[in-house]
């Protein structure tokens, strides 16, 4: 399969300042995509844009809190105003402050819901009018293997990722029924070496997760390749789910 279906596409990527988002942005840009990058850390975003443009790619960035609908609307407008079209959005922003329920870290629970659930809803709400009008578009989202099975310390995080699974699947089905040709791809990564562990404040959960990732973790570029594969598929084909992780991890 060639890269012809990526070349020239305009793709919004959230959570693009590091990890999977940054790796995906750089890979897609290297294959001819025009990437529109969003995250809260504008300084890191601008560095990613600089890296891409210095390599001859096309990239712009917009400071973005996915939990704020207006921010999502603004990055869609930026993509359309700058590049004149929008082909895909990769909803990748996420938090994973794992902890046992009994620790009652309720502030972290609500922040996970804000970013991992509301952020996905806001991103879809921002792009859907454009995708429906043009009768094409691709929505990709990062769930987790914790969105496929339950794990101790992951009740709320896993719950948010189960939501992504359900929402994306219904979006795919309804789009097919409505004839809008909107495709979806939900990714379920296992241990991928990103900054995700930095948000864990519970000492026991942090220690256990750190040991797990040190043993099994693989590079975020592996997930970027899967995103590129999904975006490169012909317009009449969708692969709606990808479970991806280290070959030696028994997730």
Q: Give residue limits of the domains in the chain.
A: 10-242
For the CA atoms of the chain, what is the radius of gyration? 17
User: Cβ distance 6 to 28 under 8 Å?
Assistant: yes
Q: Which residues are catalytic?
A: 157
Q: Is the pTM of this model over 0.85?
A: yes
- Which whole-number Å values give the CA distances from 44 to 50, 56, 64, in the listed order? 10, 19, 12
Asked if residue 180 lies in contact with residue 235, where contact means CB atoms within 8 angstroms, the answer is no
pLDDT of residue 1: 45
pLDDT score of 195: 85
DSSP 19: H
Q: Which fold has domain 10-242?
A: Rossmann fold (3.40.50)
Rounded alpha-carbon distances, angstroms, from residue 202 to 105, 153, 215, 244:
9, 9, 20, 26
Beta strands in 31-156 (DSSP E): 34-39, 58-63, 88-91, 137-142
Contact between 25 and 52 under an 8 Å Cβ cutoff? The reply is yes
Q: Which residues, other chains included, contact 9 with Cβ-Cβ below 8 Å and sequence gap of 6+?
A: 28, 32, 33, 34, 87, 88, 231
Go through the chain and tell me how many residues it has.
251
- Regions of the chain where pLDDT drops below 70: 1-3
Q: What is the pLDDT of residue 90?
A: 98
Question: Contact at 8 Å (CB) between 63 and 88?
Answer: no
What pLDDT is recorded for position 4? Answer: 81
pLDDT at 143: 98
């Amino acid at each position: 399969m060639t890269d012809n279906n990526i070349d020239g596409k305009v793709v919004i990527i959230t959570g693009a300042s590091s990890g999977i988002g940054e790796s995906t942005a750089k890979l897609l840009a290297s294959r001819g995509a025009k990437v529109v990058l969003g995250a809260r850390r504008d300084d890191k975003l601008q560095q990613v844009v600089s890296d891409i443009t210095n390599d001859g790619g096309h990239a712009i960035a917009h400071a973005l809190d996915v939990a704020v609908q207006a921010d999502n609307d603004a990055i869609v407008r930026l993509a359309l105003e700058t590049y004149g079209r929008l082909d895909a959005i990769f909803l990748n922003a996420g938090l994973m402050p794992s902890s046992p329920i009994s620790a009652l870290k309720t502030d972290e629970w609500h922040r996970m819901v804000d970013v991992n659930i509301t952020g996905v809803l806001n991103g879809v709400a921002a792009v859907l009018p454009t995708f429906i009008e043009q009768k094409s578009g691709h929505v990709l989202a990062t769930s987790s293997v914790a969105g496929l099975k339950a794990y101790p310390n992951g009740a709320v995080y896993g719950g948010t990722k189960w939501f992504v699974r359900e929402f994306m699947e219904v979006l795919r089905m309804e789009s097919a029924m409505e004839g809008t040709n909107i495709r979806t791809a939900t990714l379920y990564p296992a241990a991928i070496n990103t900054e995700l562990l930095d948000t864990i404040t519970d000492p026991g959960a942090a220690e256990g997760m750190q040991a797990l990732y040190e043993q099994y973790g693989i590079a975020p570029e592996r997930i970027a390749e899967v995103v590129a594969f999904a975006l490169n598929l012909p317009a009449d084909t969708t692969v709606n789910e990808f479970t991806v992780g280290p070959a030696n991890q028994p997730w």
